Structures are given as structure tokens and as C-alpha cells.
């Protein structure tokens, strides 16, 4: 079993979205955190089969609807230059990776690329543009 961080999970999902032609997510979309939480629940449900152990929790705040763990992971991926946040309110996130980099990210992920691609398509395709 390999430990997976929130950053690794989010980076893998964003790479999968990029390969599906999705290049933008909006942080103010009320569905975003819930959909990432559903992908996280899927990861938890299949963790043993996938050979991973998440060391994080993505759960939307019941009052605000956002997840601190998700927002922190997106910022960490930004620091790795995988996404760009746009001013003035840092609402639009551009998935700024080449297809080659996205494929490399998926192939090097501790989570199998097929699982990340499936989760991205199933849970995030409707909240990414």
C-alpha cells in the first residue's frame, strides 16, 4: 500500500481532465467541491484494490460548501506549475499542462492512471470546461 496525498490526487485528476480536453475549473462553482468529494469517496471505496491509502479527507464544509483540503491541494498543484490561478479573485483555475506532462503525471502517480481517468470523467467532467 502506498500513501497518497491530496496534492497527488488532485494533480492526477487535473492531468486526466487535461487529457480529456478540459482546461478550466471555476472555484466558485457550487458543485466543484462536492464533485471532488465524490471522487475522493470513490478513491476510498477502491483504495485497497488500487493499493493506496489516502492521508487526507475531502469533505465540503456543511455551511460554506467548500473543502479546505481541496483548496490547499489546488494551491499546492499551482506551486508545482500544474495550474494557474487568475486574478482578481482567483476564481478561474486554468489546467496548464501539456499532453506529454499530463501523461507523465498519470504514469508516475501512485493511483493507477485508469482509475484517475475514470474518476475525472465520472465526477468532474461536468464541472470542468
Tens-digit pLDDT profile for residues 7-26: 999 999 999 999 999 998 88
- What is the pLDDT, as a whole number, of residue 28? 86
- What is the pLDDT, as a whole number, of residue 86? 65
- What is the pLDDT, as a whole number, of residue 9? 97
- Top pLDDT among 120 and 27 is at 120
Tens-digit pLDDT profile for residues 60-83: 988 888 899 998 998 888 887 766
Give exposure, 84-96, as e/b (b: 16+ Cβ within 10 Å): eeeeeeeeebebe
Angle, helices 32-50/6-19, rounded to nearest 10 degrees: 110
- What is the pLDDT, as a whole number, of residue 103? 94
Tell whether the model's pLDDT for residue 90 goes beyond 80: no
Contact assessment for residue 60 and residue 41, using Cβ atoms and an 8 Å cutoff = no
**Mean residue pLDDT across the chain:** 90
Amino acid at each position: 500500500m502506498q500513501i497518497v496525498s491530496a496534492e497527488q490526487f488532485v494533480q492526477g485528476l487535473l492531468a486526466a481532465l487535461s487529457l480529456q480536453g478540459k482546461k478550466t475549473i471555476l472555484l466558485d462553482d457550487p458543485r466543484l467541491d462536492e464533485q471532488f468529494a465524490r471522487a475522493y469517496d470513490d478513491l476510498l471505496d477502491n483504495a485497497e484494490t488500487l493499493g493506496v491509502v489516502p492521508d487526507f479527507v475531502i469533505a465540503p464544509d456543511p455551511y460554506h460548501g467548500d473543502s479546505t483540503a481541496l483548496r490547499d491541494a489546488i494551491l499546492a498543484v499551482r506551486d508545482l506549475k500544474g495550474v494557474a490561478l487568475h486574478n482578481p479573485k482567483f476564481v478561474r483555475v486554468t489546467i496548464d499542462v501539456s499532453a506529454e506532462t499530463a501523461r507523465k503525471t498519470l504514469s508516475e502517480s501512485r493511483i493507477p492512471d485508469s482509475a484517475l481517468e475514470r474518476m475525472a470523467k465520472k465526477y468532474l467532467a461536468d464541472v470542468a470546461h
